[in-house]
């Protein structure tokens, strides 16, 4: 890990959606060897036997709703600042975990995602088949979830994956474009995963044409320029549509009893089909089996692509009307409650001297951004030093006044003067301070957020029904980091998270 980087910021959880592929076992073994802190396997089968998983690997059932929904289920139970999505048909390379942690720790705060490099092993003793070349295209694909690390804060900000994409196709490109639209940057990491080709039947290329329906949804959501932005090839849909129209015209003429009229379209269809087959066959091994496969599938592929495109156009209209499956970013709160010690200022235990007050790095700018955004502010702070006789209320008030002198107005101050054993309702992790602050500000607790540095701040927020963001420090326990619903590396990043901007 680079010097000066907090260990909490290098934490990552791994999410592996699966349909029960046999390759899963080898992947999990490699991930455990790589030192992954937490691995969540999301079982996306509709039914079947329970997966046999190694010790230390968590299982989550997704009910067969598709890879986008499975990934959403996985990252929402994750707790680390980074969530690494890994497909169940890849193998992580040597040094993967170390390179991943080092790469994430070295990223700028405005970078939301880091993609691993994909290597597809191809046969060395012959030319690759059409299917093998198709899989090899993953080596140059951008922002694919074969190995994609994403900040959990960024996922929360854009609402995660769009569940209107039903298959493992374009849901990753859609996420990347929405992250870029929100102002986030994307980066390419140095870690590597191996993606074996896998066994596929002769008609796999025809089945893959179902992705044309998802391309229609991408155009509806992101405009006609989405391919350039996502680094996706344009494909041959127009040529396929022309070929399909020629074939349909010839068939219609024959059905109408006019075979001479069908001759021209039929010849043109045959020429277009032959051109497609030759284009696909030329780089390949040209074995009898491959020649037969290319000839048969090239005759059907254009019609399949066109049909899926038309189906996608009808489906896109319906999906855009029904936004129940669309990603929903976390709403911006109306008010923010801030912990004092360790969050706004450097924690000096039982400090009663205003001269020892030191704001944390970037605190003044972060608080100014909250005020400029029109959010109401308050401070909620446990001060058990009063109950212990170490501090007087006047000393606490003097320190609070110094904080405001350095950071500007922070709204009402709500302080719990009790000790841990006093049984009060105001001491965090109980919700009393948060509820009282919400009442003072005239805001429903559900429309509030709490920023703090320890688990008690998070628990108080959640008990009150408020949103909670944890900014870990040296005193934050690892179990508190794991349990936090939202994490930020700095106070400024926490403000980014609440304002919905990177």
- DSSP codes of every residue in 361-372: TTHHHHHHHHHH
Interhelix angle 259-281/237-255, rounded to 10 degrees, is: 150
Sign of the alpha-carbon torsion through 147, 152, 155, 159: positive
Confidence of residue 7 (pLDDT cuts 50, 70, 90): very low
The yes-or-no verdict on residue 4 having pLDDT over 70 is: no
The whole-chain average pLDDT of the chain stands at 92
Strands in 413-416's sheet, in edge-to-edge order, are: 413-416, 376-382, 335-338, 448-452, 467-470
The yes-or-no verdict on residue 112 having pLDDT over 50 is: yes
pLDDT in tens, 254-310: 999 999 999 999 999 999 999 999 999 999 999 999 999 999 999 999 999 999 999
CATH superfamily placement of domain 335-499: HAD superfamily/HAD-like (3.40.50.1000)
Confidence of residue 242 (pLDDT cuts 50, 70, 90): very high
What residue spans define the domains of the chain? 7-200, 201-327, 335-499
Mean pLDDT, rounded, for 164-185: 93
The yes-or-no verdict on residue 425 having pLDDT over 70 is: yes
The yes-or-no verdict on residue 11 having pLDDT over 90 is: no
The yes-or-no verdict on residue 9 having pLDDT over 60 is: no
pLDDT in tens, 428-452: 999 999 999 999 999 999 899 999 9
492 contacts: CB under 8 Å, gap ≥ 6:
109, 362, 365, 366, 369
Mean pLDDT, rounded, for 153-176: 92
- Write down the pLDDT at residue 501: 63
- Write down the pLDDT at residue 24: 95
| Secondary structure E strands in 324-412 | 335-338, 376-382
Bridge partners, residue 83, by sequence: 13, 150
- Write down the pLDDT at residue 1: 36
Q: Are 477 and 446 in contact (CB under 8 A)?
A: no
pLDDT in tens, 331-369: 889 999 999 999 999 999 999 999 999 999 999 999 999
Percent of the chain beyond pLDDT 90?
77
> DSSP letter string over 164-199?
T--SSSSHHHHHHHHHHHTT-EEEEEEEEEE-----
Round to whole Å and give the CA distance between 494 and 416. Answer: 24
Lookup: tokens for 125: 């003793």
**Residues belonging to the active site:** 339, 341
The yes-or-no verdict on residue 8 having pLDDT over 70 is: no
Confidence of residue 48 (pLDDT cuts 50, 70, 90): low
What distance lies between CA 219 and its chain's CA centroid? 21
The yes-or-no verdict on residue 97 having pLDDT over 70 is: yes
The domain 7-200 is classified under which CATH number: 3.20.20.150, 3.90.960.10, 3.40.190.80, 3.90.550.10?
Answer: 3.90.550.10
User: pTM here?
Assistant: 0.74
- Write down the pLDDT at residue 484: 82
Mean pLDDT, rounded, for 48-62: 85
- Write down the pLDDT at residue 436: 96
């Amino acid at each position: 890990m680079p010097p000066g980087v907090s260990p909490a910021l290098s934490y990552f959880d791994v999410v592996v959606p699966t349909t029960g592929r046999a390759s899963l076992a080898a992947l999990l073994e490699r991930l455990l060897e790589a030192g992954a802190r937490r691995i969540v396997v999301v079982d996306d089968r509709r039914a079947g036997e329970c997966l046999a998983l190694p010790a230390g690997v968590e299982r989550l059932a997704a009910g067969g709703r598709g890879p986008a929904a499975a990934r959403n289920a996985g990252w929402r139970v994750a707790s680390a600042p980074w969530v690494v999505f890994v497909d169940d048909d890849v193998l992580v390379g040597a040094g993967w975990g170390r390179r991943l942690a080092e790469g994430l720790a070295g990223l700028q705060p405005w970078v939301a995602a880091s993609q691993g490099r994909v290597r597809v092993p191809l046969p060395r003793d012959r030319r690759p088949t059409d299917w093998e070349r198709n899989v090899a295209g993953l080596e140059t694909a951008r922002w694919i979830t074969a190995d994609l690390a994403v900040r959990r804060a960024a996922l929360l900000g854009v609402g995660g994956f769009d569940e209107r994409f039903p298959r493992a196709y374009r849901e990753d490109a859609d996420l990347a474009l929405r992250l870029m639209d929100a102002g986030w940057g994307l980066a390419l990491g140095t870690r590597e995963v191996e993606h074996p080709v896998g066994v596929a039947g002769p008609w796999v290329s025809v089945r893959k044409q179902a992705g044309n329906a998802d391309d229609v949804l991408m155009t509806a959501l992101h405009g006609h320029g989405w391919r350039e932005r996502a680094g996706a090839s344009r494909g041959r849909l127009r040529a396929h549509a022309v070929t399909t129209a020629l074939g349909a015209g010839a068939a219609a003429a024959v059905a109408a009893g006019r075979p001479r009229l069908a001759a021209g379209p039929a010849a043109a269809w045959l020429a277009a089909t032959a051109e497609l087959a030759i284009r696909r066959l030329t780089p390949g091994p040209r074995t009898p089996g491959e020649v037969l496969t290319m000839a048969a599938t090239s005759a059907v592929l254009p019609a399949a692509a066109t049909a899926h495109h038309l189906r996608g156009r009808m489906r896109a209209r319906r999906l855009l009307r029904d936004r129940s499956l669309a990603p929903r970013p976390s709403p911006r709160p109306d008010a923010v409650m801030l912990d004092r010690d360790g969050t706004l200022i450097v924690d000096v235990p039982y400090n009663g001297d205003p001269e020892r007050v030191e704001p944390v790095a970037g605190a003044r700018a972060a608080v100014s951004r909250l005020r400029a955004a029109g959010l109401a502010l308050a401070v909620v702070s446990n001060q058990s030093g009063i109950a212990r006789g170490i501090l007087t209320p006047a000393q606490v008030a003097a320190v609070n006044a110094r904080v405001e002198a350095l950071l500007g107005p922070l709204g009402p101050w709500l302080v719990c003067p009790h000790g841990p054993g006093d049984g009060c309702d105001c001491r965090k992790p109980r919700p009393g301070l948060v509820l009282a602050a919400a009442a003072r500000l005239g805001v429903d607790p559900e429309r509030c957020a709490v920023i703090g540095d320890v688990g008690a701040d998070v628990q108080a927020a959640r008990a009150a029904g408020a949103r909670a963001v944890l900014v870990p420090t040296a005193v934050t326990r690892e179990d508190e980091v794991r349990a936090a619903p939202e994490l930020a590396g700095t106070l400024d990043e926490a403000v980014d998270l609440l304002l919905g901007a990177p």
